[in-house]
Amino acid sequence: MSLYAAYAGNLDARLMSRRAPHSPLRGTGWINGWRLTFGGEQMGWEGALATIVEAPRSQVFVALYDIAPMDEESMDRWEGVGLDVYRRMRIRVHTLDGDEAAWLYVLNGYEGGLPSARYLGEIADAAESAGAPHDYVMELRKRPC
């Protein structure tokens, strides 16, 4: 098994149970020095897509999953790795038990553009259901869309 750090919409445990049914939730944590942003507006969705970029003094809340080998390919397909939409990247996640190395998906596109209101609402709802702090969720809900 490998450790996957889910942010944005993949924070939703129900959604992840459909995308990676053999991969249990391990816990939550933070990626320090990065921020949630959006890009790839031209890729044909309702708006820009979630991604992360380096940003000192910023943090991104994540859920950690032990991804079973049989679920890795389906996650890559869902995130459009073969279509060059997202790519995998290794990152350090800070948890209450210490730092853990994990992989996540980063958009293969430039930062910029606005997400749809529906998408941003789904991201905020997923963060709330995953146990993100109230102020983090409220910041998501106030973002422009």
Residue 127 CB-density burial (10 A; 0-12 exposed, 13-18 middle, 19+ buried): buried
Domain count, the chain: 1
When the pLDDT of each residue in the chain is averaged and rounded to a whole number, the result is 94
3-class SS at 11? helix
Q: Cα–Cα distance between 116 and 49 in angstroms, integer?
A: 9
CB 58, CB 52: distance < 8 Å: no
pLDDT tens digits along 37-85: 999 887 766 899 999 999 999 999 999 999 999 999 999 999 999 999 9
Summarize the annotated binding site for substrate as residue ranges: 119
Instruction: Name the residue among 88, 65, 93 with its Cα closest to residue 76.
Output: 88
Catalytic residue flag (residue 79): yes
Residue 12 contacts residue 53 (beta carbons within 8 Å): no
Taking CA atoms, 134 is separated from 40, 130, 142, in Å, by 28, 11, 12
* CB-based burial label for 141 (10 Å; 0-12, 13-18, 19+): middle
**Residues comprising the binding site?**
119
Report the pLDDT value the prediction gives residue 109, as an integer from 0 to 100.
87
Q: What is the CATH number of the domain that holds 71?
A: 3.10.490.10
- The boundaries of the domain holding residue 69 are 2-142
Higher pLDDT, 1 or 4: 4
From the candidates 72, 73, 79, 100, give the one annotated as an active-site residue. Answer: 79
Largest CA distance in the chain: 40
pLDDT for 89 equals 96
